[in-house]
Structure 1
Amino acid sequence: MAKAVVTVIGKDKPGIIAGVSNTLAEHHINILDVSQTIMSDIFTMSMLINLEKLDEEYNKLQDDLNGLGKQLNVEIHMQREEIFNAMSRV
């Protein structure tokens, strides 16, 4: 199963989870696991997503998430699971 890790960080405000979830749904992406917390007024979220039904190129999804991040004034990063795991071992 092709998976990726999506991380979001920024000043907390309404609509962050909805925006990311809706963008993923538009690309036929299933969220496998999610963890989010608010530290003081900083929002952080990590998601594990399934890329098997990605209806477009990986880069298109990444571009859409980057655009959403700019719109919401948060940082959104996506990394394939195998790269994430390899970097965690270094």
Structure 2
Amino acid sequence: MEREQFTVRAPKELVELVREEAAAYGDSINELVVSAIQKEVSVRRQLRLLGQIEKERAAMAERGLQPDSTPLVRQVRMGSDRHK
């Protein structure tokens, strides 16, 4: 994986906690920060997707039940509406 460097400014207390946690588990500060960012991005993506699903559910509820398309699909498959 290609890596890119960027600078993050954080409160001193947080930086110290990161150093302590990384040392406690034998990880580098970079490993800990990258892992934390990956987890946070994953959670945010899941929450965004959940929000989209909830919006779609609400829209579907507004539209109500749609008619069953099975007979139409069968009619098309049987050839009555097929073009030759």
TM-score of the aligned structures, taking structure 2 as reference length: 0.24
Whose relative contact order is higher, 1 or 2, with alpha carbons under 8 Å and at least 6 apart? 1
Bigger CA radius of gyration: 2
More helix by share: 2
TM-score of the aligned structures, taking structure 1 as reference length: 0.22
More strand by share: 1
